Chains A and B, each alone.
Chain A
Amino acid sequence: MYNFTFHRPTTVRQAAGLLARNPEGKLLAGGHSLLPVMKQRLAQPSALVDLSQVEGLTGVELKGRSVVIGAMTRHADVANSEILKEVLPGLASTPGSIGDPQVRNRGTLGGSIANNDPNADYPAACLGLGATIITNKRRIAADDFFQGMFTTALEEGEIIVKVSFPIAKKAAYEKFKHPASGFALVGVFVSKRGPDIRVAVTGAGSNGVFRVKSFEEALAKRFSPKSIEGLTIPTSGMNSDIHATPEYRAHLVGVLARRALAKATA
């Protein structure tokens, strides 16, 4: 790891100030994506601004018809949230499948979506529920936030503070877990909230998380696995690597979407 200066602000404003003074600096949340790439010397931030002491960035809160989760809330705390298990169990189950128990004890919601790894689970949940990402500057709809592999709408010096998830009556996540890394080879998040139907896919696309409009349209009539029986998605744009071919990934999207629908409607 290249060396850097380390800063521990206690407010979002201080953190933003530190980022402004360190243009090559990076925010440090749980460190479970950033530290590994720094160890490989694939990233060389001049400064790390640790958000762990910043007040008001953790917790799961019910606000009207939404659940608001602090950006620094650890995966384990989201997975174990009693509120979430009751009102939005499909979202509670998502971080429960990330990595392993020790990783879930450190990794955070904000860190995951700011990184936007094309195989990460949380981007599927955010897009699949139509979440709103709230930063120190503005509110960004999930549809606008995720802009491709490791790319988001976040601007220089912008800090994710919390994420607001609308409570969908039906929602579920299904994932084909890579047995070694624990990442989603393919993961599909489905939800229905009134007329708003969403099918979001992570892991499969070569450009990160995306929605499957053809599935969503087919589900408008009836939100059931049967509605997308026999439907496939094109293999163009599917990721290809030693783990799976584009054809296999496209096939998994259909399989996992049906499984998620079965779970959401059970």
Chain B
Amino acid sequence: MAKVSMTVNGKAVTGDVEPRTLLVQFLRENLRLTGTHVGCDTSQCGACVVHIDGVAAKSCTALAVQCEGQSITTIEGLASDGKLHPMQEAFRERHGLQCGYCTPGMIMAALDIVRRRGNELDEHTIRDQLDGNICRCTGYHNIVKAIEAGARAMAK
């Protein structure tokens, strides 16, 4: 077993894990943060996207022990004071989901697009940058609209 400590959604956490424990397993099974989903488990689908030190990554393709000392943000860390994050609110408002399985990863990826590309995003950019996130309901139309609106709302 290996000791691991990191900050998750602003809180310091520690755990005893096997080195082979994936970050997504650590989040879901040790910390019970089940908002981060496992879709394909092969770094394709993006349901497991979280932020590692502020940068989006697929948590099915990172070991928990690799994140020693780092700061992780999951979907559970976005809302504050009982109020949804503007990007979450945009997904609710525009119905940017159907079954909802891909949604946490979509929202975490969307925030990374805003970080890299700013608040004014056109449809082409959003679709191109969502390359690593798959919605198996094929509900991309409203996801793209939600990201466009959410990115704008974040600037306010």
Contact = CB atoms under 8 A, between A and B. Distances in A.
Contact of B132 (A3, A5, A28, A101): A101
B58 A102 contact: yes
B62 to A, nearest CB: 6
Given A101-B56, A105-B55, A3 B62 contact: no
B63 A39 contact: no
Contact of A32 (B20, B43, B65, B112): B43
A182 B131 contact: yes
A186 B46 CA distance: 25
Interface in B40-71: 41-44, 46, 49, 55-58, 61-63, 65-66, 68
A99 B19 contact: no
B61 A101 contact: no
A104 B51 CA distance: 13
Contact of B131 (A36, A39, A100): A100
A103 B2 contact: no
B11 interface: no
Contacts of B61: 31-32, 35-36, 103, 106
A101 B131 contact: yes
A106 B57 contact: yes
A101 B66 contact: no
A4 interface: yes
Contacts of A106: 57-58, 61-62
A48 to B, nearest CB: 7
B59 to A, nearest CB: 10
B124 interface: no
A8 interface: yes
A31 B131 contact: no
A99 B131 CA distance: 8
B135 interface: no
Contacts of A4: 19-20
B142 interface: no
Nearest to B129: A101
B97 interface: no
A248 B63 CA distance: 39
A103 B2 CA distance: 26
Nearest to A180: B44
Nearest to B19: A6
Contacts of B20: 1-4, 38
Given A2-B20, A3-B19, A105-B55, 12 more contacts: A3-B18, A4-B20, A31-B61, A31-B62, A32-B61, A35-B61, A35-B62, A100-B132, A101-B56, A101-B112, A102-B56, A182-B131
17 contacts: A4-B19, A4-B20, A6-B63, A6-B65, A36-B43, A36-B61, A52-B66, A99-B43, A101-B56, A101-B109, A101-B113, A102-B57, A102-B58, A102-B132, A103-B61, A105-B57, A106-B62
Interface of A: 1-6, 8, 28, 31-32, 35-36, 38-39, 48, 50, 52, 76, 99-103, 105-106, 180-182
Question: Which 10 A-B pairs have CB atoms at the shortest separation, nearest pair first?
Answer: A100-B132, A6-B19, A100-B131, A1-B20, A102-B132, A105-B55, A6-B65, A102-B58, A102-B56, A3-B20
Interface of B: 2, 18-20, 41-44, 46, 49, 55-58, 61-63, 65-66, 68, 109, 112-113, 116, 129, 131-133
